[in-house]
């Protein structure tokens, strides 16, 4: 509405991108494949994304950084094949549970012993399933994990090392395992010039006190990363933690306890409109 009210004054075109399926379905990638970046004819010269957060930042505070802003996110699916039996005689079976548990622990060792601490990765097992009762060893165990990384080198290393480690552990116990490494969202990388441009817009609109530099990349991921692979731009966080709540202890976005202050919506809209106006005036 803000931009349409001044449409006659705009020295160019603004493409709005309302992508579906951001959480795991790569809606932005699908929109790119369907031609959203060519919707106005010429490709956009810059792209901006904005995301509220229920923690980290005080209400109404904007934050971003140049370079890597958010992590790449990939999924690991592991199925350990054993041989079931009675729990009282495990030597007559091939227990996949203890082997899968060893894999979970070994993945954490992999993180600390195969990757540079200054180019970090995170592997978290979020789901583990095996068996149905206490006194029966099942035929298989399965777990799912997320892998986060901040460089293409570390991401490629994860894709190679994780399946190899899983296979080696399984073979060491006389079992087999399937390890599927599914590549998901790439690293969200802010263009340095566009990040500085967005920071200036925040400071001019709301004052320097409303901007905080993101000190380190955030391990979350975002499918806006697919846009930034093709168009220089910046991804900005906006604090929506309610006033009177400590952002350092507040529940995170994906928590059932997350609370957002809707009052920040107006500021987010204002920044979006200002970025579009300024960037069109600046030109290519």
Exposure of 172 by Cβ count < 10 A (0-12 exposed, 13-18 middle, 19+ buried)?
A: exposed
The count of C-alpha atoms lying within 13 angstroms of the C-alpha of 262, restricted to the half-sphere facing its C-beta, is 0
Task: State pLDDT tens for residues 195-239.
Answer: 999 999 999 999 999 999 999 999 999 999 999 999 999 999 999
Share of the chain above pLDDT 70, in %: 100
Q: Looking at residue 23, what is its pLDDT? A: 82
Tokens linked to 253: 């976005």
- Model confidence, pTM: 0.90
Mean pLDDT lowest among 121-135, 170-184, 269-283: 269-283
Nearest 5°: the CA angle 241, 244, 250 is: 45
Quick count: other Cβ atoms within 10 Å of Cβ 170?
24
Residue 19 reports pLDDT greater than 90? no
Closest CA to 238 of 262, 258, 257: 262
Is it the case that residue 107 has pLDDT exceeding 90?
Answer: yes
pLDDT-based confidence at residue 22 (cuts at 50, 70, 90) = confident
Query: Average pLDDT in the 87-114 region?
Result: 97
State mean pLDDT over 17-33. Answer: 90
Span 39-62, average pLDDT:
95
The yes-or-no verdict on residue 90 having pLDDT over 90 is: yes
List the domains of the chain with CATH numbers: 25-70+187-282 (3.40.630.10), 72-185 (3.30.70.360)
The band of 283, judged by pLDDT with boundaries at 50, 70 and 90, is confident
- Give the pLDDT confidence score for residue 284 in this predicted structure: 60
Across 108-133, b (16+ Cβ under 10 Å) vs e yields eebbeeebeeeebbbbebeeeebbee
Rounded Cα distance between 194 and 25, Å, is 27
Question: Count of alpha carbons within 13 Å of 270, Cβ hemisphere only?
Answer: 14
């Amino acid at each position: 509405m803000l931009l349409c009210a001044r449409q006659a004054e705009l020295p160019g075109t603004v493409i709005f991108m309302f992508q579906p399926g951001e959480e795991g379905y790569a809606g932005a990638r699908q929109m790119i494949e369907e031609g959203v970046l060519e919707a106005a004819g010429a490709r956009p010269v810059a792209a901006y994304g904005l995301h509220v957060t229920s923690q980290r930042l005080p209400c109404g505070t904007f934050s971003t950084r140049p370079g890597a802003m958010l992590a790449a996110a990939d999924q690991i699916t592991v199925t350990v094949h054993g041989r079931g039996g009675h729990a009282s005689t495990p030597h007559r079976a091939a227990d996949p549970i203890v082997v899968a548990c060893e894999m979970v622990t070994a993945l954490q060792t992999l993180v600390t012993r195969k990757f540079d601490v200054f180019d970090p990765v995170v592997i978290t097992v979020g789901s583990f399933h095996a068996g149905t009762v206490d006194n029966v060893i099942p035929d298989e165990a399965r777990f799912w994990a997320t892998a986060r990384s901040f460089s293409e080198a570390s991401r490629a290393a994860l894709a190679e090392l994780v399946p190899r480690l899983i296979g080696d552990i399984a073979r060491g116990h006389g079992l087999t395992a399937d390890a599927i490494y599914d590549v998901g969202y790439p690293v969200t990388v802010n263009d340095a010039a566009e990040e500085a441009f967005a920071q200036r817009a925040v400071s001019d609109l709301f004052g320097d006190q409303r901007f905080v530099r993101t000190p380190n990349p955030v391990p979350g991921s975002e499918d806006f990363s697919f846009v930034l692979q093709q168009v220089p731009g910046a991804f900005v966080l906006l604090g929506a933690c309610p006033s009177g709540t400590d952002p350092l202890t507040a529940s995170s976005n994906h928590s059932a306890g997350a609370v957002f202050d809707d009052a920040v919506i107006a500021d987010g809209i204002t920044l979006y409109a200002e970025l579009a106006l300024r960037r069109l005036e600046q030109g290519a």
